[in-house]
Every structure is written in C-alpha cells, then in structure tokens.
Amino acid sequence: MIQIDGNHLTLNEIERVARGAESVRLSDEARTVVDTTRRRLDDIVATDRPVYGINTGFGIFAERRIPRRDSAALSRNLILSHAVGTGAPLSNEVVRTAMLVRANTLAKGFSGVRVEIIDLILAMLNKGVIPVVPSQGSLGSSGDLLPLSHMALVFTTDENDREDESGLAVFMGEVLTGKEAMRRAGLQRIRLGPKEGLALNNGATFSAALGALAVIDAQNLLDQADAALAMTLEAVMGCSSAFDPRLHVVRGHRGQMVVAAHVREMIDGSTLIDATGRIQDAYSLRCAPQVNGAARDTLAFVRSVIENEINAATDNPLIFENGDVLSGGNFHGEPVGMVMDYLAIALSEVAAISERRVFRLTDGKLNSGLPPMLVDSPDAAGLNSGLMMPQYTAASLVLENQTLATPDSVHSLPTSGEQEDHNANSMTAARHAMRVVENTAHVLAIELYTAARALDLRLRLVPDAVLGKVTRLVFDTLRARVPYQAGDAWWAPEIDQVKRMVLAGDFLPLVSMRSDDIS
C-alpha cells in the first residue's frame, strides 16, 4: 500500500495507482498536519474577518462578503457552477492520477480541508469509483477548475442531495450517477464547509496528472527509440563512427552521450555494422544521438517540474502558521504548460527522425541493397506493395505531431471580467503532449516492425551475419509475437501488436540503460 504525505509522491507510485490499482492511505503525520491547519481555518472563520474564498465570492466577485451561515452553500455552488466541461471523457488512468495528486496536494496541509475529504478521495480510489471528467474546457488557471469540479461533483453534496447534480462515475465497469456509484461502493458523500470547494477545484491538477503519465510513457519510448535506431543501423549496415564516445564527450551533452553508449551496447558483436565501408551515414542515423539525446535532456527537466508539481500546494488562498492566510497564484498552470510544450516538441523530433529511417529502409536506392519497399524479393515488386503504406502512416503522424507541438502555453485569453487576465492553457498543452506521446509510440512501432523485416531480408542476403547482442534479443522478442510474412498482408494488426508491446514496455528489460553513470 502507498502512503501519501503531501511531499514524497513519486511517478512510480502514480503509475502503480493509476494503472495497477494499488491502494493508498494518508500517513499519520499528514493527518496531524491537516487537522492542525483545519483548526486554524476554524479560528479564522470565527473571527469573521474577510478572507478570499472563505467568506468572499470568487474571481471577479472577490470583494463580495458572504455570511458565515452560507459557507457550505458557497463551496457547493462553486463546484456546481464550475462543472461545465465538454469533450470526450478523460481516461480512467488520468482521472485516477488526478485524484491521487489532489489528495496529495491537500495532504500537504496548507488548504484547510477536513481530513475526511482526503480519506474519501482515497477510499474512492481504493474501491474503484472513478468520476467521469470531460477532457476540454480548462485553461489551467485558476488551475483546472472545470475537470476538478466534475470530479468533486461525485463525492460532494448538499441538503437536497439531488442525484441529477451528482455528476457521473464509473464503478465496476458501469457508468452511473455519482450518487449511485458512491452508494454501490458503500461510500457516503460529504457536505463541504468553508473553503473546501475552492480547495478541491483550485490548481492545475489534471494538467499535472496528464503530465505525469506523459513523462512516464516518454521515458519508456526514448529507451525503445534507441533500440529501433540500433536495429535500423544494422539493417542498412551503418557506420559505427558516429557513436564513438569521443565525439560525444567533446560536446558534453549528457543525453547525447547516453544515447550513443546505449546504441553501442545494443550493436556490440554485430558483423553488419561497418560492413559496406561507407565513411558516414545520413543524418537520420549519424545525428540520432544528438536528436534523441536532446529529447532525453528535455525529458529530465520536464520530469523535475512534474515531480515538483505533484507534491505542491496549489490552491488559493493558503493557510500558514499563526493563522496567516496568503492569496497568491500557485494554481497557475504555467510551469506545467511550458514543460508539456517542451515534451511535445522533443518527442515530435524523435518521431520525425524515426520516420526518416523508415523511409530509408523502404527506399531501394537508400537501404544498401535491400528490395524496394522491403517486398519479399525484387521479383515480387509491383504485385506486392511491401511496407510502402506504413511509411505513409508514419509520415502522417509526424505531420500531426508538428501541429500538436506548436506551443500552447504562449496562448492566453482573459476571463472573469479581466480579474484573471493571463491564463496558462496548460490543460490543452498536456492533452496535446499526450497525443504526441501516442503518435510517437506508433511511429516507433512502425520503425521496429520495418527494421525487423529489413533484418530478415538482410540475413537472407548475408546468412552468416551476426546481429548485435541486444538487437538480436529485441528482434527475437518481436518475431516471437509477430512472425515474418513473405507476401503482402494486412500489416496494420501486426504493427498495432508491436505498438502494444512498446506501450507495455515489453522491450525495456532487453534495452534498459546500463549507461546511467555516464557524465
């Protein structure tokens, strides 16, 4: 069981909860901190001094005082009025991640919520009650107000306890009203008190949730991108000189050095490398460490921001010692939006250079003597199209990535009567980054699939050739699931199978980095 305290949540733990349904509990230390902050909030409420979000309206209505007797209605109205998202629902794993991150944010102890609210969110996670949350409508400022409000609809209520105002949730594979889902799970919905509505929906939590999953998947893709590169390098009998450590040390970029070392490990023992006597290869092979390495360096920075954000206090206002209540902008999703743009750009380039290698593998003038389009034999060309069309698919996805990677965080429109006059657009950036991740996974699957076929044909031409120690393992693992077919076939299901292997990390045990000590 995972234990959260607001400060030490990891991406590994997020993956275990979001995708592995591991149970979660609140630490005893965090429970004490949350209770202490709640007592401070109660003291503030008792004084009746004006404090934003506790006894005032929100946004443009920040100067409107709200009587103490209406504090519960204030919180409930905030959730009801802000749950106006649209678009296809986010995946269950994204919503589970957001629930965990929000619980961890509240556990940090600056929000003033009752500990019962955190316990209820974690109970929903543990019992599998997953709110249905639309994917569109959030600006990432003041945080992800809309999706968080849809999430909160499910487990919050008021004196009327209306079923038609309880949102929707998935429970045991069935979409139900939030009220019914909670009832079937044996969980009691909760009435909110002062500030608790704002504490639930203020912060770029869904942006961070998407970001966390994108970082996890991007790391897996980058490791496997190097495997695809290595297989292609062998299939076209490429040059090893571009991966010599001396080249990369004198430039000094860590990611570049790691990629080169990774490829050297994978092709070690190959008799195909340097077999043609070429002096140098095209950029898609020769410069791959520089491109994939830059993506690794970018991912390292993105990871640091996301790891910080999932352990951050992000609502407003925040409550500190001595009863100080500070209004600020920690909800603003700019840090997440920017790094999601960076990640989308980095992965777009990884996919782009991968597609160029697929093109090279299928072009009979560029693939070092293999049949055009990797048909089974030159005599079959024309009757069979070979792998002509998978390269089209890769090109299409690369072009889509180039649009998706256009930065979102630079775009802003004002809201709330100019009170919120600069917005982060972080949710859109995160959604686009996730689509780039999926597109890149498919492009890499096409390269792995194409390189495997090229190696089959190369080994037919050079039967005594020996593959690299690691590339042989990757090749054999792929071929165990997707056998070679001589003539034209329905390639799509086979490529989809390789993509599932990539996303599941089936190749990672074979290609996991052993070069992390490179400096």
| pLDDT tens digits along 319-362 | 998 889 998 999 999 999 999 999 999 999 999 999 999 999 99
Radius of gyration of the chain (CA): 26
199 with 218, same domain: the answer is no
Q: How far is the C-alpha of 326 from the C-alpha of 309, rounded, in Å? A: 19
We report the CATH number of the domain holding residue 380 as 1.20.200.10
List, for residues 162-212, the tens digit of each pLDDT value: 999 999 999 999 999 999 999 999 999 999 999 999 999 999 999 999 999
Which residues, in sequence order, are CB contacts of 68 under 8 Å at separation 6+? Answer: 45, 48, 55, 194
Which of 181, 203, 225 finishes a domain?
A: 203
319 found inside a domain? no
143 found inside a domain? yes
218 with 122, same domain: the answer is no
Q: How far is the C-alpha of 39 from the C-alpha of 44, rounded, in Å? A: 9
Q: Which of 313, 260, 342 is nearest to 113 (CA)?
A: 313
174 with 270, same domain: the answer is no
517 found inside a domain? no
Question: How many domains does one find in the chain?
Answer: 2
Q: Which of 46, 106, 117 is nearest to 323 (CA)?
A: 46
Q: For residue 379, which phi and psi values (nearest 5 degrees)?
A: -65, -25
> What per-residue confidence (pLDDT) applies to 513?
53
The continuous run of DSSP H or E covering 4 comes out as strand 2-4
198 with 218, same domain: the answer is no
> What per-residue confidence (pLDDT) applies to 456?
98
We report the CATH number of the domain holding residue 39 as 1.10.275.10
Q: What is the largest CA-CA distance in the chain?
A: 89
| Low pLDDT (below 70) residues in the chain | 512-519
160 found inside a domain? yes
Which of 183, 203, 223 finishes a domain?
A: 203
- 231: tokens are 């297989």
Q: Which of 294, 397, 287 is nearest to 353 (CA)?
A: 287
> What per-residue confidence (pLDDT) applies to 131?
98
Residue 120 buriedness (CB in 10 A; 0-12 / 13-18 / 19+)? buried
Angstrom distances, CA of residue 160 to CA of 21, 154, 156, 197, 293 = 33, 14, 11, 17, 57
Domain span including residue 452: 214-314+325-414+421-511
Q: Specify the amino acid at residue 483.
A: P
261 with 280, same domain: the answer is yes
- 519: tokens are 């400096």
pTM of the model: 0.95
Which residues, in sequence order, are CB contacts of 246 under 8 Å at separation 6+? Answer: none
334 with 237, same domain: the answer is yes
266 with 181, same domain: the answer is no
Q: Is 342 a catalytic residue?
A: no
